Amino acid sequence: MNRATRPLPISAISWSKLIGALLDGPCTVKDLVEASGLSDPTVRFQIRAMKKDRNIYIAAWEPDARGRHNVRVYALGRRADVRKPPPKYVDNAARLVAYRQRRDAKQLQTWLHP
C-alpha cells in the first residue's frame, strides 16, 4: 500500500465532529474542515470512504469564486446525488459570442469616454 492509498488515522473526537457537522445539515468540504479541525485532504479521504459506502450524498452544488457550480454540498443519507447544473455556456460558440459582445462593449466605452 503506497502513501496515497493508505488510510489516514483520525481521532474519535475528530470523527465525531465530522459526523456532528453533517448531522446539523448539509456541508461543503470547507465547512467540514472548519468544524472538525482536520486537514482538507483528510476530510476528502473520509468523504470518499463514506460515499463509497453510500452513507453520504451530494445534496446540492454551490457556485465557486468564479460563479461556476463546482462546490459539492454533502449530506448524510442514502439518496441519489443531485445532478450538477449545466454550465452557463454549453458550447464554445456561445462562449465566443458572449466574449465578443463584452469586448466590443468595452472598446465602445473607451471610444466614448477616453
20 has pLDDT over 60:
yes
Q: Give the Cβ contact number of residue 66 at 10 Å.
A: 6
pLDDT of 97 over the 90 cut: no
Across all residues in the chain, what is the average pLDDT?
85
Q: What's the confidence (pLDDT) of residue 14?
A: 82
Whole-angstrom distance, CA of residue 75 vs CA of residue 25:
7
Q: For residue range 29-70, what is the model confidence (pLDDT) as tens digits?
A: 999 999 988 888 989 999 999 999 999 999 999 998 877 889
Closest to 18 (Cα-Cα) out of 70, 54, 63, 56: 56
For residues 73 and 28, the answer to whether their CB atoms sit within 8 Å is yes
Residue with cell 463546482: 70
Higher local confidence (pLDDT), 33 or 114: 33
Q: What is the mean pLDDT of residues 2-26?
A: 77
Q: Quick check: 22 and 32 in contact, CB under 8 A?
A: yes
Candidates 106, 52, 108; CA nearest to 44 is 52
pTM: 0.69
CATH of 1-83 given 3.40.50.300, 1.10.10.10, 1.10.8.10, 1.10.3300.10 = 1.10.10.10
Q: What is the mean pLDDT of residues 103-113?
A: 82
CA distance linking residue 108 with residue 114, whole number of Å: 10
